[in-house]
Amino acid sequence: MSAPNTIVLSRTADKGLLSTHRVLRNTYALLGLTLLFSAAVAGASIALKLPSPGVIITLVGFFGLFFLTSRLANSVWGLPSVFALTGFMGYTLGPIVSKYLSLANGSQVVMLALGSTAAVFFGLSAWVLSSKRDFRFLGGFLFAGMIIAFVAALAGIFLQIPALSLTVSAAFALLMAGMILYETSNIVHGGETNYIMATVSLYVSIYNLFTSLLALFGFASSDE
């Protein structure tokens, strides 16, 4: 290979690396802001004792705002839409957390779920960033698992079967850990170049991981 071609390839690789670092930096910065905003909205929801929006409104609100964000991700309206989405999810989280805080040791359950979520996210993210391993091969398995778990979750809500709900929570926790691996790897290896969509993907994984662990720890606590 000639020297000019080598220089061109080197410059292309450098640009790709800089682009990946930029997406990672912007993603983690925006993720931090959206998590803080979502937590503030959840706190306000708890303080004001706002009622749960219900399954239908939650699903319509989430998918509607998710679709809006994906459509606006490349425009100046992308940032307001992602905060609208994460703020709405923060509102839905408030009544959920309130339910667990009402338990005898509810504060410990919530803090344990929160700490575990943070540990899983930072641990898995650090693993991907340090090892540079490509976990995108998990995509098909995770997609299929999410569909099955989502249908099972809806069945658990309407049938009111505690064992099914507990199984779904455990499945969702594992799937969300896999999604964090997949999504972080997708950014590192250039598969995701839009930091707004990368932020939304990671936020949703963290939200679902937290609520799943909350359900698991809450169930374990109620049996003690």
Alpha helix stretches (DSSP H) within 48-161:
54-72, 78-101, 106-131, 139-159
The answer to whether residue 41 sits within a structural domain is no
The answer to whether residue 182 sits within a structural domain is yes
The answer to whether residue 174 sits within a structural domain is yes
Res. 104: pLDDT tops 60: yes
Confidence at residue 7, expressed as pLDDT on a 0 to 100 scale: 43
- Does the reported pTM lie above 0.85? yes
Distance CA 98, CA 117 (A): 18
pLDDT band at 218 (very low <50, low <70, confident <90, very high): confident
Across 176-202, average pLDDT: 91
Burial classification of residue 137, based on how many CB atoms lie within 10 Å of its CB (0-12 exposed, 13-18 middle, 19 or more buried): exposed
Distance CA 193, CA 19 (A): 8
Q: Supply the angle between the helices 162-188 and 139-159 in degrees, to the nearest 10.
A: 150
Number of domains in the chain: 1
**8 A C-beta contact, residue 168 and residue 152:** yes
Q: Calculate the average pLDDT of the chain.
A: 86
Query: Higher confidence at residue 162 or residue 201?
Result: 201
CB-facing half-sphere around the CA of 12: CA atoms within 13 A? 6
The answer to whether residue 85 sits within a structural domain is no
Q: Which domain holds residue 186?
A: 3-36+99-222
Confidence at residue 8, expressed as pLDDT on a 0 to 100 scale: 40
Residue with tokens 């499945």: 171
Across 56-69, average pLDDT: 94
Confidence at residue 224, expressed as pLDDT on a 0 to 100 scale: 52
The answer to whether residue 56 sits within a structural domain is no
Which three-class secondary structure state does DSSP give residue 60? helix
Confidence at residue 6, expressed as pLDDT on a 0 to 100 scale: 47
The answer to whether residue 71 sits within a structural domain is no
pLDDT tens by residue, 114-173: 999 999 999 999 999 888 888 888 888 888 888 888 787 777 667 666 677 788 888 889
The answer to whether residue 78 sits within a structural domain is no
The answer to whether residue 48 sits within a structural domain is no
Among 18-32, 66-80, 147-161, the least confident range: 147-161
**How many Å separate Cα 186 from the centre of its chain?**
14
